[in-house]
Amino acid sequence: MTLPLERFRMLDLTRLVPGPMATWMLADFGMDVLKIEDVADRSAYRDQQAARASRGNLSVDLDALEVEARSNGWDHTHRNKRSIAINLQKPEGQAIFHRLVADADVFFGSFRLGVYKRLGADYETLSKINPRLIYATLSGYGFGNSFTEWPGNERNAQGMSGVSALTTGQDGEPADMLFQPVDSYSAALAVISIQAALWAREQTGRGQQVDIALVECGTAFVNANVPDYFRKKSVRKRGFPSIGNLRCKDGKYLSSAASAQAHFWAPFCDAVGLPEMRDKMPFGDEERIRKVKAHMLTKTRDEWLDLIPKEIAVLPMLEFDEVLEGPFAKERGMVLELDHPLEGKVRQLSSPFRLSDTPPTFRRFAPVLGEHTVEVLHGIGCSDSEIGELEQAGVVRASHRDVTMSKR
């Protein structure tokens, strides 16, 4: 089966979360994602995952924790990719990188502007080597403005984009979210933008620059609130009383859209035994909301689910184990069961993209550092002796583990 993006090659210099998340999506669709890593130490994301595995004890040997660290995210967001380790601080390393650029379709990085210039990976340099190159970057604030060199990550982007202001509780304190909505949304927008640029190249024959800013993506993420500001010069800055989340007798919750749409409200009231409330929706009415919430505490979540028709859009709020082990995940095939050459039996999320004829596929596990260095250098004409000399000089690093990470 031919995958939609398998004729394209990307040089991936992204780090941390949003860049690797975007390149994971592209790799699942067949793009040859060649991850460019440092020879001296692992990327920030590898070390971040190893640090999590060590539970914050940074004095431990991070290499010894690689297997556990892989399960904390690296394996998932780096599957279907290849790894080459090059020292871009050295002129010889930059020369090898530029040879790879000449035959690449996409460059994708997540550094600040000054870093690209120091590494010989800035747009002006790479576009001269390959005028057809799509040069994509994902940074905190994008290029060409006074914020360009500011450091930026998910937390900063939430604060600078308005996301934090719109995710506050009843006490007015911004929520400390356990997931990364701006990173995830930015990754999706990067994927769309890169594919759009590739399509434009099909028409023009020319590459172009793709500039993604986390802060801008964060504001786009809350775009439903933007028109309110343009019309009223204000937005709701904190949570408001609602019955969207209903606590039940057993401490579990229902996720309810019954008060969000009028045609759900009356059937909901009839189903739960509150017919006297069916004539008026409770939106913003704290007294009526308190009455509904108190009533819902009289039965367990599953008892209510037996009484409330599914058509009313009142469904269980699932814990993570219920999500991943539940019937929807099983019927949808959301979890892959795989045999990893280092870890044994592992599970990963499958791709959420479902295409009838050319669906994304799992082809190889995430690479160890420099796993494909020799393979890639052979591809640009380097001999074994040349590779040995480059490795000896600290220009490249190759993995010599006797293990294949490809799926068997």
**Whether residue 17 has pLDDT greater than 70:** yes
**Whether residue 92 has pLDDT greater than 80:** yes
Question: What is the model's pLDDT at position 67?
Answer: 47
Question: What is the model's pLDDT at position 53?
Answer: 42
Residues 6+ apart with CB under 8 A from 91: none
Q: How far apart are CA 365 and CA 79, in angstroms?
A: 5
Question: What is the model's pLDDT at position 194?
Answer: 97
**Whether residue 403 has pLDDT greater than 50:** no
Alpha helices in 205-347 (DSSP H): 214-221, 226-232, 262-272, 286-296, 301-307, 320-325, 327-332
Q: Which residue has the higher pLDDT, 140 or 85?
A: 85
pLDDT bucket at 46, cuts 50 / 70 / 90: low
**Whether residue 59 has pLDDT greater than 50:** no
Amino acid at 408: R
In this structure, of 16-20, 61-65, 282-286, 319-323, the range with the lowest mean pLDDT score is: 61-65
pLDDT bucket at 68, cuts 50 / 70 / 90: very low
Domain-by-domain residue ranges, the chain? 9-222+333-397, 245-325
245-325 sits in which CATH class?
alpha beta
Question: What is the model's pLDDT at position 237?
Answer: 59
Q: Is domain 9-222+333-397 annotated with CATH 3.40.50.10540?
A: yes
Is residue 75 within 8 A of residue 56, CB to CB? The reply is: no
**Maximum separation of any 2 CA atoms in the chain, in Å:** 85
In this structure, of 70-74, 183-187, 218-222, 315-319, the range with the lowest mean pLDDT score is: 70-74
pLDDT bucket at 310, cuts 50 / 70 / 90: confident
CA proximity to 97, closest of 115, 76, 112, 119? 119
Q: How far apart are CA 271 and CA 202, in angstroms?
A: 56
In this structure, of 152-161, 274-283, 355-364, the range with the lowest mean pLDDT score is: 152-161
Question: What is the model's pLDDT at position 242?
Answer: 67
In Å, what is the CA distance from 260 to each residue of 222, 236, 239, 268? 19, 17, 15, 12
Q: How far apart are CA 314 and CA 264, in angstroms?
A: 9
- Long-range CB pairs of 51-55 (<8 Å, 24+ gap) are none
Q: How far apart are CA 112 and CA 95, in angstroms?
A: 21
**Whether residue 184 has pLDDT greater than 80:** yes
DSSP secondary structure letter of residue 261: S
Question: What is the model's pLDDT at position 301?
Answer: 95
Question: What is the model's pLDDT at position 55?
Answer: 41
Is residue 213 helix, strand or coil? strand
pLDDT tens track for 112-166: 888 999 999 999 999 999 999 999 999 887 888 887 778 777 777 777 677 777 7
Q: How far apart are CA 362 and CA 350, in angstroms?
A: 8
Q: How far apart are CA 197 and CA 208, in angstroms?
A: 7
Is residue 130 within 8 A of residue 102, CB to CB? The reply is: yes
In Å, what is the CA distance from 150 to each residue of 114, 141, 143, 164, 215? 11, 8, 11, 19, 12
Burial (CB < 10 A; 0-12, 13-18, 19+), residue 161, is buried
Residues 6+ apart with CB under 8 A from 78: 20, 24, 35, 366, 367
**Whether residue 280 has pLDDT greater than 90:** no
Q: How far apart are CA 195 and CA 134, in angstroms?
A: 10
pLDDT bucket at 281, cuts 50 / 70 / 90: confident
Share of the chain above pLDDT 70, in %: 84
Is residue 27 within 8 A of residue 80, CB to CB? The reply is: yes
